Amino acid sequence: MAGLSSQYRICSRCVMDSSDPNISFDERGVCNHCQKYDEILATLVYRGAEAEARLDVILDEIKKNGSSSRYDCIIGLSGGVDSTYVAYKVKQLGLRPLAVHLDNGWNSEAAVHNIESVIRTLDIDLHTEVLDWEEFRHLQIAFLRASTPDSEIPTDHAIMATLYKIAIKHRVNYIISGSNYVTELMVPSAWSNGHSDWKYIWSINREFGTRRLKTYPHYTYWKLKIEYAYLRGIRDIQILNYIDYDKHLAIEEMEKRIGWRNYGGKHYESIYTRFYQGYLLPIKFGYDKRRSHLSCLINSGHLTRDQALAELQRPPLDEEQAKEDCAFVQKKLGLSEEEFQTILHTPPRRFQDYPSYDKSQREDLLWRLALKAMMTARSIGRATGLLAT
């Protein structure tokens, strides 16, 4: 496979290009993201009878495990396409979900409308977790000052931490998410990294923040891998990988049956996400996240390459909306014009420039050794009758 060229290149199959500093191409001009997509699709995404059989096994397990509880699964609900469709499907499949929404202060009117429509139409209970705005505001500012290309990490991490917290509270072992390979696989690590990395988040706040994180929902590497997954047996089910998920058809169905309201770009149900993906990433970092989203749709057969290229001819955010969002974000975060301009013009940095679990290969080794020791001890305990089977 050829290495990254210093000249501009675009994939011959999708629309990923050399704005990803780690992109590479084979002799046909096909990028590494498309090759990875093919590998994942062949091994982890199921279709037809196999998908139905695997999904039936999962559904039976969830229903049996949660038969004595009020809820048998937890779902995240943002008002966006994926999470709304998950809510629609799990009810259709006969599950009893508790929807969890993280209110980080940035919901658009469309998001609020969609959440209310889902809860009312599908008759689903909702738990809303409201973040301490002052604490969260300062954390978002810290990430902007850190100048790495994903200031959405504070929200994404808090969402997962909250889902685990609510799952534990209600003794539910299954979190059903809208994450999926078909529409979300092709995001370069250089554009987005560290979502589950509390050490990274803590390090950014320590260096650039002005407040201690006393109430911010979070989890450590050890909690995620050992307590949540191993000891408590909580599973994250990506249910959209087991159905033929066509985003455009899903939108049509939700508009018709739920009264779902379209808000434009991917994850633009959040005003901050719209500002960050539509304005800050392209202006400061030269990244247009639509490339990864559109490339997924090309590879899944839901969009042609020509259609994607035509979409990219339009700006990710129109000029008036960009001005409005910049002014709103600046005011809501309490940034002066000078501070905002400093953030815009500070040279970009990378995830790898800061302390993280990802950098600590030794910690990963220690976790593997600890997990192996725990599994061995548990096996011995069961064999000797000291532990229940």
Q: Mark whether 153 and 267 lie in a shared domain.
A: yes
- Residue of 129, 154, 127 lying closest to 141 (CA atoms): 154
Query: For the segment 66-77, what is each residue's pLDDT rounded down to a tens digit?
Result: 999 999 999 999
Query: What pLDDT shows up at residue 45?
Result: 79
At residue 37, does pLDDT exceed 90? Answer: yes
Same domain, 371 and 247: no
pLDDT at 266: 53
Q: Where are the beta strands (DSSP E) in the chain?
A: 73-76, 97-103, 125-130, 174-177, 235-238
Element (H, E) at 326: helix 319-333
Q: pLDDT class for 387, splitting at 50, 70, 90?
A: very low
Domain contains 281: yes
Looking at the fold, whether 240 and 333 belong to one and the same domain comes out as yes
CATH number, domain with residue 210: 3.40.50.620
Is residue 278 included in any domain, yes or no?
A: yes
Q: Number of structural domains, the chain?
A: 2
Does residue 377 share a domain with residue 245? no
What is this structure's pTM?
0.89
3-state secondary structure of 27: coil
> In the predicted model, is pLDDT for residue 310 greater than 70?
yes
Residue 239 sits in the same domain as residue 364: no
pLDDT in tens, 102-113: 999 999 899 999
Residue 183 CB-density burial (10 A; 0-12 exposed, 13-18 middle, 19+ buried): buried
pLDDT mean over 382-387: 44
| Average pLDDT for 260-286 | 85
Residues 98 and 184 in one domain: yes
Same domain, 104 and 247: yes
Which residues make Cβ contacts (< 8 Å) with residue 27, sequence separation at least 6?
2
At 76, is the secondary structure helix, strand, or coil?
strand
- Do 108 and 251 have their domain in common? yes
Asked if residue 154 is part of any domain, the answer here is: yes
Distance CA 375, CA 386 (A): 14
Mean local confidence (pLDDT), 60-87: 95
Residues 330 and 367 in one domain: no
Residues 330 and 378 placed together within one structural domain of the fold: no
Looking at the structure, tell me whether residues 388 and 332 fall in a common domain: no
- 279/372 same-domain check: no
Indicate whether 298 belongs to any domain: no
Q: Is position 5 within any domain?
A: no
Check residue 371 and give its pLDDT. 57
Q: Which pLDDT band holds residue 375 (cuts at 50, 70, 90)?
A: low
DSSP conformation letters of 103-143: E-S-B-HHHHHHHHHHHHHHT-EEEEEEP-HHHHHHHHHHH
The reply to whether 301 falls in a domain is no
Is the pLDDT score of 320 beyond 70?
A: yes
Q: What is the pLDDT of residue 184?
A: 86
What is the domain extent for residue 264?
Answer: 45-286+318-353
Indicate whether 29 belongs to any domain. no
pLDDT of residue 46: 82
Taking only Cα atoms into account, the Rg of the chain, rounded to an integer number of angstroms, comes to 22
| 58: helix, strand or coil | helix
Taking alpha carbons only, the member of 250, 254, 252, 269 closest to residue 111 is 269
The C-alpha atoms of residue 158 and residue 124 are separated, in whole angstroms, by 22
d(CA 388, CA 89): 36
Helix (H, G, I), strand (E, B) or coil at 357: coil
Q: Is residue 293 part of a domain?
A: no
Q: What is the per-residue pLDDT across 25-34, written as a single tens digit (0 to 9) for each? A: 999 999 999 9
Calculate the average pLDDT of the chain. Answer: 90
